[in-house]
Structure 1
Amino acid sequence: MDTDRVLSLTDPFHEAALEPGLWPRALARLGDAFGGASALLAANRHDIGPFLLEAARCDPELFARFAAEHGSAEENGYIRRLNAMRSGEVLWRRAVVQDRAWASDPIYRKFLRPQQLWDGLVTPLVKDPGGYAVVGLYRARAFEEGETALLRAIAPHLQRALQVATRLGALRDRLEAGLAALDVLAPGIVLADKAGRVLHANAAARAILGEADGLALGRGGALRTARGAEAAA
């Protein structure tokens, strides 16, 4: 497998792990490498079923309908297969159901055919006792064996990127919860860096700074005395 090609396809996912707004672009880039395929990142939690996280060239409303109508492992054999697979293995639609049977499958007829999609590759990532995430690729023509090998080579990199994103997301949530807790405190609290630039001010502090009575925000968001000349005297 061409290492440079694998890295060129997975670097955007490592960037997206640091900047969540980049996930659709990373998925679109991946889809381009697979012949303009639709690409999605979804989760399947055993208690609530599948739900879409990010997508490129995929109809989110149709995915929501799929989850509502065919999202249980008891009813959906493909989900049962994914449940039993290890992270990084690839589920190829053509390997598990013949074209003739697939053409009459309700999942194809209701959710893929309206998007002019025919074949699919799915790999589970970051499995835990509660469920897992998957990356799925779908397109109008059949995939080839070499493409399943490419997805297998890419999967460990996608898994690491998603693990980083999950951990950073948890840290962001904790930070936001902490800042929200500061907002309900009566005293004014300002968090600043070593240069005096304000990183966060709670509601009480924002009110004080807004009055510019003693302290105010200067250029670049730095704290300054509201009466700088008087204070210097």
Structure 2
Amino acid sequence: MIYEAVLDDTLWPSALTRIADAMGTAQIGLLSLDRRARTYDSIAPRTDPVMDAIFKKYWAFHNPLWPRTIARPVGEVFLLDSLIPRMDFVATPFFNEWMRPAEFSIASMGANLLVGNEISTNLSVANAPGKDEITGEQTLIFKAAMQHVERAVRIHRELRMRDLDHDTAPDRLECLHRGVMLVDGTSRVVFANAAARALLNSAGGLALEAGCLRSRDGSDALLQGLIVSCKRKAHTRNGPGGGISIHIGPRRSLRVTVTPLRAKGTVAELPWLGLQIPVAMVTVSTPSTEKSLS
């Protein structure tokens, strides 16, 4: 069912529940946290909806385990006990004010599906209260399930990228003379063609900071606003996208145009996977490229 869920997002709760049933665990969840954008998404079919809402509102950004989990390599299965001593953890407000009321045992296990650029996506399970040890059989089942979930996530990302309009496919953009980048909703550059890479490496008006696109001439707030306006649920007065000029020297400037990307809709958006799916195309023109194209 995991692979069926790649095409039908409504099947993910059932797919995760089957993994939990096979393991004999009370809780299971796919969790994605973006620290830079301060956004959190999850799918946790067995967690009480009220407790899940409380976690999303507060504990997602005050969970003492997050800084420890992001230090673990993608795919490595780890126990909660390997992150923090059990006696220390049971004394934390997080355990006493959220985990215990939500009926999570101290016996829990997880693995990262994605770590990088201040984003992490994690699959985790927990036993019911009173079952305070993860068994060897549970670990083996979890490791086997992780292999399939990892593969399903890769397939989903590939399908989402292919779901973009044909004219914005990376292989069609690579050879264009003007710089073109595909960015996600937090300005992370998912793709940059050769011309764009040259511009970013030229110490001009645009730069990458922690993988995110920035302007250097004081117009960064405008650039970020244009990119955010291209997000699917964004509501802006002037509509999505637009253009600005970025100064790169005396009488020289770059013309930057931000255009919203719209997928064909054949593959669902799954925010709790934390994938870097582009929402906008950023096109950069210099006077020389504009002349060559005219």
TM-score by length of 1: 0.61
Q: 1:30 aligns with which of 19, 29, 34?
A: 19
Matched, 1:79 2:66: yes
Shift in Å at residue 174 of structure 1? 4.9
Shift in Å at residue 136 of structure 1? 1.2
Deviations 1:41-80 (A, max 9, x none): 11122313462332221134423433443434xx544111
- Paired residue for 1:51? 40
More helix by share: 1
Matched, 1:148 2:233: no
Letter in 2 for 1:54: I
Looking at CA atoms only, which structure, 1 or 2, has the larger radius of gyration? 1
SS class of match (1:91): strand
CA 1:17–1:86 in 2, change beyond 3 Å: closer, same or farther? same
* In 2, Cα distance between equivalents of 1:173 and 1:58: 34
Q: 2:153 aligns with which of 132, 155, 162?
A: 162
Shift in Å at residue 22 of structure 1? 0.5
Deviations 1:175-233 (A, max 9, x none): 993669xxxxxxxxxxxxxxxxxxxxxxxxxxxxxxxxxxxxxxxxxxxxxxxxxxxxx
* In 2, Cα distance between equivalents of 1:148 and 1:85: 17
| Structure 2: gaps of 5 or more residues | 167-260, 266-294
* In 2, Cα distance between equivalents of 1:89 and 1:178: 33
Shift in Å at residue 86 of structure 1? 0.9
Shift in Å at residue 87 of structure 1? 0.9
* In 2, Cα distance between equivalents of 1:174 and 1:31: 37
Matched, 1:132 2:120: yes
TM-score by length of 2: 0.49
Q: 2:262 aligns with which of 146, 165, 177?
A: 177
Percent identity (aligned)? 22
CA 1:105–1:164 in 2, change beyond 3 Å: closer, same or farther? same
Instruction: Point out 4+ residue stretches in structure 1 off by more than 6 angstroms.
Output: none
> What is the root-mean-square deviation in Å for CA atoms of aligned residues?
2.8
- Paired residue for 2:272? none
| Structure 1: gaps of 5 or more residues | 1-11, 181-233
CA 1:77–1:56 in 2, change beyond 3 Å: closer, same or farther? same
- Paired residue for 1:213? none
CA 1:53–1:167 in 2, change beyond 3 Å: closer, same or farther? farther
